[in-house]
Chain A
Amino acid sequence: MVWPEFGRYGRVWSPWREMERLQQDMNRLLSRESTPYSTTFPAVNIWASDQDVIVTAEVPGVDPENLDITVAENVLKLTGSRKPEELKPGEVSHRQERVSGEFTRTFRLPYAVDSGKVDASCEKGILEVRLPRAEADKPKKITIKSQN
């Protein structure tokens, strides 16, 4: 049997590779049950009040310069990258649990925010973005004029 070997190079569709991938997917799904431990990076919390939203994210090891925050109306997008630790020749990796590479996360905020007044800080590996609610979006109190 020669033909399944082609699949290894990604040129020819191989049923074996499909099976392998299916198996990997199944394993991943099943193992999730026992370890509620995902690789979504970074983890994000969102806090809201009537006036503004605070988004915090755990970004350990991410240089704030490699972090981009964009806001459009009520959608916040976080993109960035974390550099992998490169092994020099002669170095051996014993454990690799930390994730690295590029990430993008998009969130819908509870209301539209004023993108001009967004304030972000990054301390101890925790990013905190404060997004004030857009004036136009704030609830307005309507006074009722009495006719008398």
Chain B
Amino acid sequence: MAEKEMQKREASSPVETERTKNMKFFIPRVDICETKDAIVLLADMPGVDEKSVDITLEKNVLTLSGRVEPETHEGYRSAYVEYEAGDYERAFTLSDEIDRDRIEASVKNGVLRLTLPKAEPVKLRKINVKSA
């Protein structure tokens, strides 16, 4: 118990700005993979649903944030703790090749799924070389 580790990684410093709420916040774990025409991001954000997640894209900085209601159980004492509830925040720098109008996001079972389609002109074009 004494050597237990917290399961979520706490942000060491606020992301450039400070928050008004005096509450812990966490960096969600993400998987990012690139498909032929999109970049797909999955973020573990337990406690977050589609209403409590905010995704902003400013210039080329994509910010994910999720609000989590603190876990309270009236009349119960805490017997064992491995995680704390807190908001999530993480920012990524994207390259310019994202089609901003077609970004899709969904939340299921506490996992945010973000699809960032690549902009058309940047898609690889295969050039056929004709024989002379």
CB within 8 Å of B: which residues of A? 32, 35-38, 40-49, 53-54, 56, 58-64, 85, 87-88, 90-99, 107, 110, 122, 124-126
A44 touches which of B8, B45, B82 (Cβ 8 Å):
B82
Do A32 and B5 touch across chains, with their CB atoms under 8 A apart?
Answer: yes
Given known A-B contacts A93-B33, A98-B31, A58 and B76 have beta carbons under 8 A apart: no
Q: Does B130 contact A (CB under 8 A)?
A: no
Q: Does B110 contact A (CB under 8 A)?
A: yes
Residues in A with CB closer than 8 Å to B77 are 47-49
- The contact string, 1 if C-beta is below 8 Å from chain A, for chain B 47-71, is 1110000000000000000000001
Q: Does B9 contact A (CB under 8 A)?
A: yes
Contacts A/B (CB < 8 Å), 20 sampled: A35-B9, A36-B9, A45-B71, A45-B78, A45-B83, A46-B78, A47-B79, A54-B76, A58-B7, A60-B45, A61-B110, A85-B33, A93-B31, A93-B32, A95-B30, A97-B30, A98-B30, A122-B109, A124-B109, A125-B45
| Residues of B within 8 A of A (CB-CB), count | 37
Assembled-state Cα–Cα distance A69/B129 (Å): 61
Assembled-state Cα–Cα distance A44/B82 (Å): 5
Q: Which of B103-131 contact A (CB under 8 A)?
A: 107-111
In the complex formed, the residue of A with least CB distance to B75 is A49
Do A48 and B76 touch across chains, with their CB atoms under 8 A apart?
Answer: yes
Do B33 and A87 touch across chains, with their CB atoms under 8 A apart?
Answer: yes
Residues in B with CB closer than 8 Å to A32 are 5
Query: Can you list the 9 inter-chain pairs with the closest CB atoms, starting with the nearest?
Result: A125-B110, A43-B7, A60-B110, A43-B83, A125-B46, A47-B76, A46-B80, A58-B46, A97-B29
